[in-house]
C-alpha cells in the first residue's frame, strides 16, 4: 500500500475505511458551504460489473503506456498515428512519465512505475536554456513530481520539484506580482506580459505544497500574491475577464466565462481553501461563484449552461459551452452546490451524446458544434466522479460507462490513444496528451474502483488530477 511521506517523516496510510473517507468528504462539503446532506445508498457499493470495468480501464492505461514506452520513451508525449515521440520544447521534460506516475501508483502498476522512475531519474533535468510555459509546467510537472513524492516517498521526486520551483520563481517578478506566461529555466528571462486568469491563478496548490514540504515559504507567497492581485482586479460585478497585462494590471479582454483561460482559477480559489484551510480563499470563491451564477449561467430548453458575458456590464456576449467548461459541476459539488452540479452535469452528458463523444465546443443556444475536436479531455469524467463520490447515485457510473466505451471505440489505436480532429466523422489526430494518462484514465478508474481508494478528506486533486495531500503547516 502506498504511503504518503514528507520531510517531517509524517507517514500516513493513504487508504482509509470507506466510512471514514465518506465522513471526511461530507465534512469538507459542509464546511465548504451548505451541503444539503448527501447520503450514500446501498447502490453506491462496487458491483462485479464495476470491478470488471475498473480492470478494463487499467488495461487501457497499460496499453497507452506500452505505446509510449515502445515508440516515444524519453519524449514528452507519444504521436500515436506516426508512432513517434514528440517534445514540447527543444529538450524533453518527460511530461508523460511525470504526469502518469501517480495514476500508476493508484492502479498498483509496479512494473510501469519502475519504468517511469528510470526514465525520470536517468534523464530529467531543468538546467536547460529553454523557455517554458509556467502554467503547463506547474500543473503537469511540478504537481506530478510533488504527488509522486507524496505517494511514493522517493526523495529524488522532491529534489526535482524544488529544483523546478526555483527555476520558475522569476516568472512572478512583475510590478503586480502576477506572473509572465513564459520563463527561461536557466536564465530566468521572462516573456508574454498579457496573461489570463487560469495561468495566473492556477499555481497556488503546487507552489504552496512545495513550500510546505521544503519549509521555504517563498513559493507559497509568490503564488498567493499573484492570486490576490488577480482577484483584486475583478470588476464591480465580481467577474474577471479573459486577458490581463501583468505589468499594468489593465484588462485586455473583458469577456468573462468559465472555460479555458479562466476555468481553473475558479477551481483553485476553492481548492486553496480545502488544501491550506485559509477561509479567505473560501470567501473569494463564494463571491466569484455568486457572480458567475448570476451573469454567466443560462437555461435553454430546461438545460443549465454557462455562457460568456462582459465583465463590466454582465451582458451576454455569446453562448458557447464545451469540454473545458465541463469541470464546473465537480467544483460546484465540492463547494456544496449539489443541485446546480447535478443539473450542469446533465447538460455535459447531453453534449457528450450529441455525436457519441464530446466535442470541444458547442453553441448551446443555436444547438450546433462550433469546435469539433475531442482532445482526450477528462473534465466531464472528473465531474461525474465527484458527483458519484458524493451522492453514490448509479447514474454517474452509467455515464462513466458511456464515456469509457466511446473513448475506447473511437480513439484507440494499435499504439495507444489518439485524439479526434472531428467528432462527427471520428477522424483521428496524431497526439496523445499526457493528461490522458494523468487525468482521463485516472478519473475513469476512480469512478469504478472501490470508493475508499482515495481519502478525499486528506487529498485535493490539482487541476491535472495530481492528488496532493494536506501537509501540516510549518512556517505559514
Q: Which residues are part of the catalytic machinery? A: 136, 263, 360, 379
Q: Pick from 79, 117, 377, 469: which binds ligand DMJ (CB under 6 A)? A: 377
Residue 96 beta carbon to ligand DMJ: minimum distance, rounded to whole angstroms? 13
Residue with cell 510555459: 133
Contact segment (CB under 6 A) with ligand DMJ among 170-178, 305-313, 376-384, 467-475 equals: 376-384
Binding footprint of ligand DMJ, residue count (CB under 6 A): 9
Q: CA-CA distance, 274 to 45, in Å (whole number)?
A: 26
**Which one of the spans 290-298, 357-365, 371-379, 417-425 is the region binding ligand DMJ (CB under 6 A)?**
371-379
Site for ligand DMJ in 137-156 (CB under 6 A): 139
Instruction: Identify which of residues 103 and 463 has a Cβ nearer to ligand DMJ in the complex.
Output: 463
Grid cell digits, residue 251: 484588462
In angstroms, the first-to-last Cα distance of the chain is 31
Nearer to ligand DMJ, 26 or 349 (CB): 349
Residue 383 touching ligand DMJ (CB under 6 A): no
- Residue 406 or 463 with smaller CB distance to ligand DMJ: 463
The nearest distance, CB 106 to ligand DMJ, in angstroms, is 17
Minimal distance in Å, beta carbon 257 to ligand DMJ?
A: 14
What does the angle CA 223 – CA 33 – CA 380 come to, to the nearest 5 degrees?
70
- Is the Cβ–Cβ distance between 243 and 253 less than 8 Å? yes
Does 257 participate in binding ligand DMJ (rule CB under 6 A)? no
Q: Which is nearer to ligand DMJ, 337 or 379 (CB)?
A: 379
Contact region with ligand DMJ (CB under 6 A), list: 25-33, 215-223, 341-349, 374-382? 374-382
Per the CB < 8 A criterion, the answer to whether 285 and 273 are in contact is yes
Residue 271 binds ligand DMJ, judged by CB under 6 A: no
Residue 463 C-beta: closest distance to ligand DMJ, Å: 4
Q: Does 264 bind ligand DMJ (CB under 6 A)?
A: yes
- Position 435 contacts ligand DMJ (CB under 6 A): yes
User: Which residue, 5 or 68, has its beta carbon nearer to ligand DMJ?
Assistant: 68
Nearest Cα neighbor of 143 from 223, 66, 215, 217 is 223
Judged by CB under 6 A, which of 463, 467, 469, 471 binds ligand DMJ? 463
- Match 448570476 to its residue by C-alpha cell: 294
Interface with ligand DMJ, residue 103, by CB under 6 A: no
Q: Which is nearer to ligand DMJ, 308 or 462 (CB)?
A: 462
**Nearest alpha-carbon partner for 266 in 289, 235, 282:** 289
In the complex, what is the shortest distance from the CB of residue 259 to ligand DMJ, in angstroms, rounded to a whole number?
10
Q: Should residue 99 be labelled a site residue for ligand DMJ when binding is judged by CB under 6 A?
A: no
Residue found under cell 486533486: 461
206 binds ligand DMJ (CB under 6 A): no
Q: Which CB sits closer to ligand DMJ, 172 or 268?
A: 268
Minimum CB separation from ligand DMJ for residue 135, in Å? 9
Question: Cβ of residue 253: shortest distance to ligand DMJ, in angstroms?
Answer: 19
Q: How far is the CB of 110 from ligand DMJ (least distance, A)?
A: 26
Task: Please work out, in degrees rounded to the nearest 5, the angle formed at the alpha carbon of residue 294 by the alpha carbons of 288 and 298.
Answer: 120
Interface with ligand DMJ includes 242 (CB under 6 A)? no
Of the pair 50, 464, the CB lying nearest ligand DMJ is at: 464
Smaller CB distance to ligand DMJ: residue 38 or 361?
361
Q: How many CA atoms lie within 13 A of 325 on its CB side?
A: 30
* Number of other residues whose CB lies within 10 A of the CB of residue 165: 25
Give, as ranges, the residues between 40 and 69 that touch ligand DMJ (CB under 6 A): none
Of the residues 275, 291, 464, 469, which one makes contact with ligand DMJ according to CB under 6 A = 464
Q: Candidates 144-152, 278-286, 346-354, 377-385: pick the segment binding ligand DMJ (CB under 6 A).
A: 377-385
Provide the minimum distance between the beta carbon of 49 and ligand DMJ in the complex, in angstroms, as a whole number: 28
Interface residues with ligand DMJ (CB under 6 A) are: 139, 264, 377-379, 435, 439, 463-464
Amino acid at each position: 500500500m502506498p504511503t504518503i511521506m514528507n520531510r517531517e517523516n509524517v507517514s500516513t496510510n493513504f487508504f482509509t475505511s470507506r466510512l471514514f473517507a465518506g465522513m471526511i468528504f461530507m465534512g469538507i462539503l459542509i464546511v465548504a458551504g451548505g451541503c444539503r446532506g448527501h447520503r450514500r445508498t446501498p447502490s453506491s457499493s462496487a458491483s462485479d460489473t464495476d470491478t470488471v470495468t475498473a480492470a478494463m480501464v487499467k488495461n487501457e492505461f497499460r496499453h497507452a503506456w506500452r505505446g509510449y514506452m515502445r515508440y516515444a520513451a524519453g519524449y514528452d508525449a507519444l504521436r500515436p498515428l506516426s508512432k513517434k515521440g514528440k517534445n514540447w520544447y527543444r529538450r524533453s521534460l518527460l511530461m508523460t512519465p511525470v504526469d502518469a506516475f501517480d495514476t500508476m501508483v493508484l492502479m498498483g502498476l509496479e512494473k510501469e512505475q519502475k519504468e517511469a522512475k528510470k526514465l525520470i531519474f536517468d534523464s530529467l533535468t531543468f538546467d536547460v536554456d529553454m523557455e517554458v510555459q509556467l502554467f503547463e509546467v506547474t500543473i503537469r510537472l511540478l504537481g506530478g513530481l510533488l504527488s509522486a513524492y507524496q505517494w511514493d516517498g522517493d526523495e529524488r521526486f522532491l529534489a526535482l520539484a524544488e529544483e523546478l520551483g526555483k527555476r520558475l520563481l522569476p516568472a512572478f517578478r512583475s510590478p503586480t506580482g502576477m506572473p509572465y506566461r513564459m520563463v527561461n529555466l536557466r536564465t530566468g528571462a521572462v516573456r508574454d506580459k498579457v496573461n489570463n486568469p487560469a495561468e495566473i491563478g492556477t499555481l497556488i496548490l503546487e507552489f504552496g505544497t512545495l513550500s510546505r514540504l521544503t519549509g521555504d515559504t517563498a513559493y507559497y507567497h509568490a503564488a498567493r500574491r499573484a492570486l490576490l492581485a488577480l482577484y483584486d482586479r475583478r470588476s464591480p460585478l465580481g467577474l474577471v475577464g479573459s486577458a490581463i497585462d501583468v505589468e499594468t494590471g489593465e484588462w485586455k479582454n473583458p469577456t468573462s466565462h468559465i472555460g479555458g483561460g479562466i476555468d481553473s482559477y475558479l477551481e483553485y480559489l476553492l481548492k486553496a481553501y480545502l488544501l491550506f484551510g485559509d477561509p479567505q480563499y473560501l470567501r473569494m470563491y463564494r463571491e466569484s461563484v455568486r457572480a458567475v451564477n448570476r451573469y454567466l449561467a443560462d437555461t435553454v430548453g430546461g438545460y443549465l449552461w454557462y455562457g460568456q458575458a462582459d465583465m463590466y456590464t454582465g451582458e451576454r456576449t455569446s453562448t458557447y459551452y464545451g469540454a473545458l467548461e465541463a469541470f464546473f459541476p465537480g467544483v460546484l459539488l465540492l463547494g456544496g452546490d449539489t443541485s446546480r452540479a447535478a443539473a450542469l452535469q446533465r447538460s455535459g452528458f447531453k453534449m457528450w451524446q450529441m455525436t457519441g463523444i464530446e466535442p470541444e465546443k458547442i453553441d448551446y443556444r443555436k444547438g450546433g458544434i462550433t469546435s469539433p475536436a475531442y482532445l482526450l479531455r477528462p473534465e466531464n469524467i472528473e465531474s461525474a466522479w465527484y458527483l458519484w463520490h458524493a451522492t453514490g447515485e448509479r447514474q454517474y457510473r452509467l455515464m462513466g460507462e458511456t464515456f469509457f466505451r466511446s473513448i475506447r471505440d473511437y480513439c484507440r489505436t494499435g499504439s495507444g490513444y489518439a485524439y479526434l480532429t472531428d467528432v462527427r466523422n471520428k477522424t483521428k489526430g496524431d497526439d496523445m496528451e499526457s493528461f490522458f494518462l494523468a487525468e482521463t484514465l485516472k478519473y475513469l478508474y476512480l469512478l469504478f474502483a472501490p470508493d475508499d481508494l482515495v481519502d478525499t478528506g486528506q487529498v485535493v486533486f490539482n487541476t491535472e488530477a495530481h492528488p496532493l495531500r494536506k501537509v501540516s503547516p510549518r512556517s505559514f
